[in-house]
Structure 1
Amino acid sequence: MTMIGRRIWQQRPRTLSWRWSSGGTLTRPYSSTTSPQRPSLVRFLSSDGAASFRAANCSVVFSIPSTINKCRYTTHALADLSPSGIVDVPLAQTGEGIAECELLQWFVKEGDQVDEFQPLCEVQSDKATIEITSRYKGKVAQILYVPGNIVKVGETLLKMDVEGSAASTLSSSDLESINPPILDSTELPGSEVSKNTKGGALSTPAVRHLAKEYGIDLNDVHGTGKDGRVLKEDVLKHAEGSPSLLRDEDNLRYAFAEVKWHPNDKTVPLRGFQRTMVKTMTMAAKVPHFHYVEGINCDALVELKTSFQNNNSDPNIKHTFLPVLIKSLSMAMSKYPFMNSCFNEESVEVILKGSHNIGIAMATSHGLAVPNIKNVQSLSILEITKELSRLQHLAKENKLSPVDVSGGTITLSNIGAIGGKFGSPLLNLPEVAIIAMGRIQKVAHFAEDGDVYPVSTMTVNIGADHRVLDGATVARFCNEWKHFIENPEILMLQMR
């Protein structure tokens, strides 16, 4: 993982110059600091000294000042250059526009030996879950955050004693003199015993973390350990004596949908994708929406899916309605490119996207994720099926990458998979359209002659940015999409 880089400026005076002779030879006047050899073009282009260019039959001379500032880029933090050997490992920039991440878990503890590129911890931004790896070989000297903390990009996650450095001679008292940022009263399990920052109760970080989960003040717990130290058993015993503090393991997750009912109020922090939803929906609420609702006959779609399943020879592939709906949506967008666009509010411009990156809203135990299938216009239905399966698996495991969740151009929300008939979706900005699809169900349909027969019908609701799209455009687009769904043979005929 790329570390936070800093630019180091060096000023190096030079009195040398380069000359391009009429014979096409690159030469440089010799001095006491140069060797009489022809310089390579690479060395010439990387030189920061004065230079001049002169061609035959040409009086133009281009010069560079003889003293310039040279910029070098390093991935080391400034603290890394310290001879002390204690290296700060900051939270790297995990993606464009990411300012902070939630620390999910540590893979190391204080005192562990770490190799280069070994995973240190797992963090979750509002876009994806990412592993932070070590760029050093050494020993973990100090861990500054615990799971659940929000860490700003650039803040130090941990301090490392780099192997073979002068840091190996530092004592534990030297490490304690390093002032970490102010944190909650919890630390990572496995580190040294210390006092609760809110009082004088002695306990280990693991015990303090356990007490925080119960909502217990350690000063209220009678410690039975040495010197009155509070042990894990003391916390559990104290919790058992307070019925309101009984812990439900399922309630320790941050996922909003998994929070159970309690007789007492409980504060649930929103993390990861849930924080993203707060931001995006707040912004979307400021955009003028309009919705277009239509019913689509899915009898042919149902038959097509049945045919796919009956002729499926790969047990790893599960055919559903969604890949056909995604491909037909892409075909319709090819005729109505404004549906596949983004709006730039600052410049008041519409960007017509060349790729159809169709996002699929997925409800997970970690919140709402919207990964997108890239370049749908170039994929077959089978390829879309495989990519959709991959994204669904990663979303379930909370392993979506920043690439998977970025760059979407339009969003599909399949609420019918849960059971709803239709919904009124809000835009996933800067996209200008989002579609909510209800479940496919049998309904009575009246023919022109008055006969009644069952039809598999799906209701779709298209939410559109009224600053970019008008009702007529959305209606025509929906008719095109509906035509492909109700007549999949035409879809197959026009597919590339």
Structure 2
Amino acid sequence: MAAVRSLRLSYRSLGYLVCVHHIRSCSRLKLANLEHLKSNKSTFKLSQQHRLFRATAVSSVQIVQFKLSDIGEGITEVTVKEWYVKEGDSVSQFDSICEVQSDKASVTITSRYDGVIRKLYYNVDETAFVGKPLVDIETDVLKDVAPEEDIIETPAMSHDEHTHQEIKGHKTQATPAVRRLAMENNIKLSEIVGTGKDQRILKEDILNFLSKQTGAILPPSPKLEIIPPPPKSKTTPATPKDKAFLMPTPLSKPAEFTGKDRSEPLKGIQKAMVKTMSAALNIPHFGYCDEIDMSHVVKLRNELKDVVKSRGIKLSFLPFFLKAASLGLLHYPILNASVDEKNQSVTYKASHNIGIAMDTQQGLIVPNVKNVQVCSIFEIAAEVNRLQTLGSLGQLGTNDLTGGTFTLSNIGTIGGTYAKPVILPPEVAIGALGKIQVLPRFNSKGEVIKVQIMNVSWSADHRIIDGATMARFSNLWKSYLENPASMLLDLK
């Protein structure tokens, strides 16, 4: 009996000790929570305490179908140009998977998962569709958590902590690769205005933001290595008699004669040209031509090209053409507009996003220099250099190829004097620039002199632009180029 009483007493004592230990532990936890709440100046109730639980490692492997997401601008299909991975390769987030070519631009697709490539759904040059599987990736469903690790479950973040993702109720949209690029450059996405579909922030928006902050043109990622042309051989220059027998070098080898017709599907830039030009020919065009005395611009460029070259930029005549056009558009904004025939309205564009037609191995592309009205000639030259470099490599982004409001086509780099350019909808005007050649002209004294002459051919939308307006704009543009010092009067 005494032994039973002793045992009961022991259990009671042990229970008392356990209760005391439990009360002390709870008290310490409450005090810790109170101190934590005081330090953060929060107004949470004591009932909203942090809960402690233990987590063990969980791992589950599954095959994920990585689908081709919407890349904007209404693009529904692309052509696979190159695979950077093969079946069995391991990939991490943001690793490049493949390069695809749409009818507007070339885009690099990156992985959203860590895992192993199990299947490629397309071969090179096949057409991939938005929303359809691109590759299969074997990946872990949940990342492993360190075994026996204490995890603190905290209340939801306050509204202020969401400012980098939500601005006045509107969530910023960006891919993981774009968010990573912004994070690496310490940029808040809330500071960027997206130019993609539904104001989605694109990679080009980040690069353009950086270039405005630093004043430099950033190379694309991966970095491009621009290889200078080989030095000219020190041979005796050809005489005019020899030059007459020189043949132009073809861009590609002639096709082998097989005796059979062959058919190829339209894709990429060729497919875009069919669509764009079919729509363009619904516009009633009219033409206007003139010749420009380029003598003063040629002299000015020769004086400035070494200075600009010392800054790492090549100065061509194109920046002068673009700036003079922008100054002219300030006086004739109807040429920097678009017409909505259905709603019977005209939209005057605030930005002068002037396109420059480029002949590339992929076909005709027309990237545009954004906001020429607020750019200096040096800034325009730097942007033209960037667009020409990316265009020759087939790496122009969607932002570079969309949003144009006016176009100039410099056919003179290839040859020819006059042309009949076709307007690119929804624009209403375009100019084609011929080659600069030395021709005899009479001066004010009636003397024959050598003059640097360039011909220009304009096309305009006759629905909203009349011939007199086009002629006046051309005369103003001509006056800026024939007397480039006059541009200083209108520069801001």
**Match for 2:282 among 283, 286, 289?**
286
Query: What pairs up with 1:42-441 in 2 under 5 angstroms?
Result: 85-163=62-140, 258=252, 260-264=254-258, 265-312=261-308, 314=310, 316-441=312-437
Does the 8 Å CA contact 1:85/1:165 hold for their aligned counterparts? no
SS of aligned partner of 1:384: helix
Distance in structure 2 (CA, Å) of the matches to 1:107 and 1:127? 21
Q: After the TM superposition, which of the residue ranges 406-415 and 308-317 deviates more from structure 2?
A: 308-317
- 1:211 matched residue in structure 2: none
Q: After the TM superposition, which of the residue ranges 110-119 and 428-437 deviates more from structure 2?
A: 110-119
CA positional deviation for 1:442: 1.0
Pick closer, same or farther for the CA change 1:39–1:97 going to 2, 3 Å: farther
User: 1:290-330: CA deviations, max 9, x gaps?
Assistant: 11111111111111111112544616221111111110110
SS of aligned partner of 1:404: helix
Task: Write the letter of the residue equivalent to 1:162.
Answer: T
Task: Write the letter of the residue equivalent to 1:93.
Answer: D
SS of aligned partner of 1:304: helix
Pick closer, same or farther for the CA change 1:109–1:311 going to 2, 3 Å: closer
Does 1 or 2 have the higher relative contact order (CA < 8 Å, sep 6+)? 2
Task: Write the letter of the residue equivalent to 1:348.
Answer: Q
- 1:455 matched residue in structure 2: 451
Distance in structure 1 (CA, Å) of the matches to 2:308 and 2:377? 13
- 1:485 matched residue in structure 2: 481
CA positional deviation for 1:99: 1.3
Task: Give 5+ residue unaligned stretches, structure 1.
Answer: 1-35, 41-82, 167-255
Does the 8 Å CA contact 1:128/1:401 hold for their aligned counterparts? yes
User: What TM-score results when the alignment is normalised by the length of structure 1?
Assistant: 0.63
Task: Give 5+ residue unaligned stretches, structure 2.
Answer: 1-43, 49-59, 144-249
User: 1:256-296: CA deviations, max 9, x gaps?
Assistant: 97462221233344432222112111111121111111111
User: 1:406-427: CA deviations, max 9, x gaps?
Assistant: 1100011000011111210101
User: Which structure features the higher share of helix residues?
Assistant: 2
SS of aligned partner of 2:65: strand
Paired residues, what number?
Answer: 330
Task: Write the letter of the residue equivalent to 2:68.
Answer: L
Distance in structure 2 (CA, Å) of the matches to 1:389 and 1:479? 28
- 1:252 matched residue in structure 2: none
In our comparison, the structure showing a higher alpha carbon Rg is: 2
Distance in structure 2 (CA, Å) of the matches to 1:315 and 1:446? 39
Does the 8 Å CA contact 1:292/1:462 hold for their aligned counterparts? yes
User: What TM-score results when the alignment is normalised by the length of structure 2?
Assistant: 0.64
Pick closer, same or farther for the CA change 1:429–1:38 going to 2, 3 Å: farther
SS of aligned partner of 2:287: strand
User: 1:373-430: CA deviations, max 9, x gaps?
Assistant: 0000000001101010011001011111111111100011000011111210101110
Distance in structure 2 (CA, Å) of the matches to 1:303 and 1:357? 27
CA positional deviation for 1:108: 0.9
Distance in structure 1 (CA, Å) of the matches to 2:290 and 2:72? 38
CA positional deviation for 1:119: 1.0
Task: Write the letter of the residue equivalent to 2:256.
Answer: H
Distance in structure 1 (CA, Å) of the matches to 2:47 and 2:373? 51
Does the 8 Å CA contact 1:104/1:147 hold for their aligned counterparts? yes
SS of aligned partner of 1:85: strand
Distance in structure 2 (CA, Å) of the matches to 1:131 and 1:366? 17
SS of aligned partner of 1:350: strand
Distance in structure 2 (CA, Å) of the matches to 1:352 and 1:414? 25
Does the 8 Å CA contact 1:114/1:136 hold for their aligned counterparts? yes
Does the 8 Å CA contact 1:112/1:139 hold for their aligned counterparts? yes
CA positional deviation for 1:84: 8.4
Pick closer, same or farther for the CA change 1:266–1:257 going to 2, 3 Å: farther
SS of aligned partner of 1:442: strand
